[in-house]
Amino acid sequence: MWYDEMVRVVGRPKLVEERIMRIEIHRERCIGAGMCVLTAPDLFDQSEDDGCVVLLNPEPAPDRHEAAKQAESLCPSGTIEVVPDED
């Protein structure tokens, strides 16, 4: 099949992966460590009131998906969750 040959030569198309990302925050878990802000300051901020995370962009552009995943993996409290969009 031409599609299988294309995937073998150039890799799987990223369009499917790139359009299915949404960030959810479980704010009650946040301990204010700030790793998310250091990792992706365009996606996350910290509240001046309690130091907890503020989500700036729940649906990042494809070129920020990797940063969102990195912030999810670095968060020590499991506050950040990157989930597939249901659309």
Dihedral of CA atoms 61, 65, 70, 76 in degrees, nearest 10, equals 70
**Residues between 37 and 56 with contacts to ligand SF4, criterion CB under 6 A:** 46, 52-53
Kindly state the smallest distance separating residue 6's Cβ from ligand SF4, in Å.
39
Dist CA 4 CA 12 (whole Å): 9
31 binds ligand SF4 (CB under 6 A): yes
Dist CA 37 CA 73 (whole Å): 13
| List of residues contacting ligand SF4 (CB under 6 A) | 30-36, 46, 52-53, 75-77, 79-80
